[in-house]
Amino acid sequence: MTHNELIQQIRTKKTFLCIGLDPDLKKIPEHLLQTEDPIFEFNKAIIDATHSHCVAYKPNTAFYEAYGIKGWISLEKTIQYLNINYPNHFTIADAKRGDIGNTSAMYAKAFLETLNFDSITVAPYMGSDSVKPFLSLPNKWVIVLGLTSNEGAFDFQFLNTGNKKLFEEVISTSATWGNENNMMYVVGATKAESLKEIRKIIPNHFLLVPGVGAQGGSLEEVCEYGMNENIGLLINSSRGIIYASSKDDFAQVSQLEASKIHESMKKYC
C-alpha cells in the first residue's frame, strides 16, 4: 500500500484506527478452544466485526511464535485472510526485528514477501545496514521504533547526546535512510508531549501510536501534538478492543468498542 493510498483510506473511512491482533489462549473465549485453530478463529471473528472501523491491523508476532509451528500457521492464515477479504487494510507485522544486513534481508523476505505484510516494525539500534534491507521492496514499509510507551523508555531513550535526546537522534538520523513513502515511526501515546518536537524532525511521516486506551494514552493529546495535514497517524488499540468481552458475544463487543474510537476520530478526519 502506498502513502497516498493509506491517506485515501483514512479520508474515506474517517478513521485512523489500527487494531492489534494479540491472541492469548488464556484470554480468548473458551468455546473457541474446541476449534481446530482457536487463534485464527478468534482473529477472523474480530476482523469481520471491526473492519469497517479501522484502516489497519497489527498482529504482534510474539503472540504467535509462543505456540510454535501452530502459531505460525495461525499467523499465516490471518494475514492471508486479511489480504484476500480486506485488501484495503494496511497490515503491520509487529516483529521488532533488526540484525546485521544479510539477516535483516531474510527477515524482510519472511514478513514482507512470504507472509506479504505491508510493513514491519524494526529496532534501529544496530544502525543503517540493519534497516536498509527492509527498505528495498517496493510499496513496503519499515516502522522504526522511535519513542516507546513503556516505563523502560526512560532508561535510554531520553539520554542527552549533546543538543538532542537519544530518541531525537535516532529519528533524525534514520529518517535519512528512507522517506515518508516507506518509513513510519513508533511513538508511544504516553509520550504525547514529545510529539511536538518529533513533528519538527519528521513533519510528513506517518506515526504508529500505541498506548491509547489500556496504557492510559490520550487520543486528544496525540492528535493535538502529532497530527499533520494528512492526519499522519495510526492509533493502535489492542486489549481494549479484542478483549472487551470474554464471552460468546466477544466479537460484537469488540465491534462496539472499535466503533466508539471510530466515532471519536471522525472529527479529526
Is 96 an active-site residue? yes
Give the active site residue among 77, 96, 164, 260.
96
SS3 per-residue string spanning the chain? CCHHHHHHHHHHHCCCEEEEECCCCCCCCHHHHHCCCHHHHHHHHHHHHHHHHCCEEEEECHHHHCCHHHHHHHHHHHHHHHHHHCCCCEEEEEEEECCCHHHHHHHHHHHHHHCCCCEEEECCCCCHHHHHHHHCCCCCEEEEEEECCCCCHHHHCCCECCCCEHHHHHHHHHCCCCCCCCEEEEECHHHHHHHHHHHHHCCCCEEEECCECCCCECHHHHHHHHCECCECEEEEECHHHHCCCCCCCHHHHHHHHHHHHHHHHHHHC
Catalytic amino acids?
Answer: 96
